[in-house]
Amino acid sequence: MAKRPKVSIVTITYNHEKYITDALDSFVMQKTDFDVEIVIADDCSTDDTPQIIKRYAEAYPNIRPILRNKNIGAINNSIEALKAARGDYIALCEGDDYFTDRKKIQRQADFLDSKPSYALCFHPVKVFFESKEAEDSIYPPESDPRFFTTSNLLKGNFIQTNSVMYRKQKYDNLPTDITFLDWYLHLYHAQFGRIGFINEVMSAYRRHHEGIWWDTYENIEVIWEKHGIAHLNLYEKMTKLYGHDDKYEEIIYEHIHHLFIELVKLYQKNNKGVLEQAISKFPLQGARVLESEYSSGSKKDKEIERLAEELYRRNQEFEIVLRDLRNILNSRSWQMAQKLSKAKGALALQRNRKNK
């Protein structure tokens, strides 16, 4: 039986033939005093990516390829790859990015070994544009470890995917209907401990025209058109992780508020579908945003005002029904009826047994 690795490097690929060699070379160059496995899941690429992975797997036995014969999408592919990982720690890197430091995996594992109260750790990365559309930069620009708290992570994702190492958790119930899975994963793991920071650049993040988020670089509205509902789903899942804390819940609802404002802008440009879907999912939050931002003053819009009034009417009706239901359930007559029903059921059961 193969020895269990201490660290799993988990990678997903899709049509990365131009880049995958850089990623794989950076994985196999890692210098560690423990076993490392490389789980690389290709989502049915139509280029030469699977063949390149096969060649590396033949040369390096610690590479575990998962070559799909049907496309299942980036999120499902990521989750299945995580579930396949066997290491105590998990490092992420997508197939078009790469590590730049031979000691990256060793340093991060040493950090988690020495600090059992930490659930994850990360480091800054070099961000570069393949076609030189912008200057290279370092992300995140912040370097004070005190900044990297769960509260600030809820405000915005400061952890680049190929910089993180997690203490492994269970991955059976991760959501598949969200966007920015990496942000969710950081927050999911942060439930279990502190966030650690190693102030050394040890990876590179490549921006290129084939990248999944490239079209948002020039026009942020594209992300709301394509992924607005999935983004709201992300915030909904955040509330399930952190909604028990008032401070955290307030941060999440600020995100929802801002996103509704962006969706209203699309609505006013005759892209109505995304806002209507969002309202059906979050009617109360939608009503609050429409009422506070667009139903008075210089921003007044008759259509938006009508929508806000309709939403409030629906929510008020819901609150009345909910209040009545609570009153019924808490009433003595309801409780007596429940007890009587149970007694009748027990009596009927006794009679049936006697008749037999």
Higher pLDDT, 81 or 288: 81
Mean of pLDDT values over 255-269: 83
DSSP 100: -
In a domain, 355, yes or no: no
Distance CA 312, CA 345 (A): 43
Q: Supply φ then ψ for residue 120, to 5 degrees.
A: -160, 160
Same-domain pairing of 179 and 230: no
In a domain, 343, yes or no: no
pLDDT confidence of residue 343? 61
Name the residue range of residue 14's domain: 7-212
Same-domain pairing of 147 and 270: no
As a residue count, the chain comes to 356
Among the three residues 212, 240, 258, which one is the final residue of a domain in this structure? 212
Same-domain pairing of 105 and 222: no
Across-strand partners of 264? none
Mean of pLDDT values over 162-171: 98
Asked whether the beta carbons of 206 and 96 are under 8 A apart, the reply is: yes
Asked whether the beta carbons of 11 and 95 are under 8 A apart, the reply is: yes
Q: Is the pLDDT of residue 247 over 70?
A: yes
CATH code, domain carrying 170:
3.90.550.10
Q: Scanning the structure block, which residue is given the tokens 């059921």? A: 345
Q: Is the pLDDT of residue 211 over 60?
A: no
Task: Point out the least confidently predicted range of 67-81, 197-211, 222-236, 268-282.
Answer: 268-282
Pairing verdict, β 165-167 and 98-99 = unpaired
Task: Provide the percentage of residues in the chain whose pLDDT is more than 90.
Answer: 60
- Work out whether the CA dihedral 66, 70, 76, 80 comes out positive or negative: negative
Asked whether the beta carbons of 91 and 8 are under 8 A apart, the reply is: yes
**pTM value?**
0.81
Residue (of 142, 155, 146, 137) closest to 196 by Cα position? 146
Higher pLDDT, 265 or 246: 246
The Cα-based distances of 299 to 133, 259, 264 in angstroms read 36, 17, 11
**Residues 6 or more apart whose Cβ sits within 8 Å of residue 344:** none
Same-domain pairing of 241 and 107: no
Residue (of 139, 116, 251, 252) closest to 196 by Cα position? 116
Please tell me the total count of domains within the chain: 2
Distance CA 23, CA 290 (A): 46
pLDDT in tens, 59-86: 999 999 999 999 999 999 999 999 999 9
Same-domain pairing of 29 and 106: yes
Same-domain pairing of 238 and 326: yes
Q: Is the pLDDT of residue 349 over 80?
A: no
In a domain, 236, yes or no: yes
Same-domain pairing of 277 and 262: yes
Q: By 3-state DSSP, what share of the chain in percent is helix, strand and coil, each rounded to 5?
A: 55, 15, 35
Residue (of 227, 242, 91, 229) closest to 154 by Cα position? 242
Across-strand partners of 118? 194
In a domain, 263, yes or no: yes
Same-domain pairing of 65 and 140: yes
For residues 197-235, one letter each, b for 16 or more C-beta atoms within 10 angstroms of the residue's C-beta and e for the rest, the string is bbeebbbbbbbeeebeeeeeeeeeeebbbebbbbbbbbb
Is residue 213 very low, low, confident or very high in pLDDT (cuts 50, 70, 90)?
very low
pLDDT confidence of residue 165? 98
Higher pLDDT, 318 or 144: 144
In a domain, 320, yes or no: yes
pLDDT confidence of residue 334? 54
Same-domain pairing of 153 and 238: no
Same-domain pairing of 185 and 246: no
Higher pLDDT, 29 or 356: 29
Same-domain pairing of 190 and 224: no
Among the three residues 168, 184, 212, which one is the final residue of a domain in this structure? 212
Same-domain pairing of 181 and 320: no
In a domain, 2, yes or no: no
Distance CA 334, CA 330 (A): 7
Among the three residues 212, 242, 277, which one is the final residue of a domain in this structure? 212
Distance CA 195, CA 188 (A): 12
pLDDT in tens, 10-21: 999 999 999 999
The Cα-based distances of 204 to 13, 20, 137, 291, 308 in angstroms read 16, 13, 10, 44, 46
pLDDT confidence of residue 224? 78
In a domain, 335, yes or no: no
Mean pLDDT of the residues in the chain: 85
Distance CA 319, CA 329 (A): 15
In a domain, 336, yes or no: no
Q: Scanning the structure block, which residue is given the tokens 């990623």? A: 23
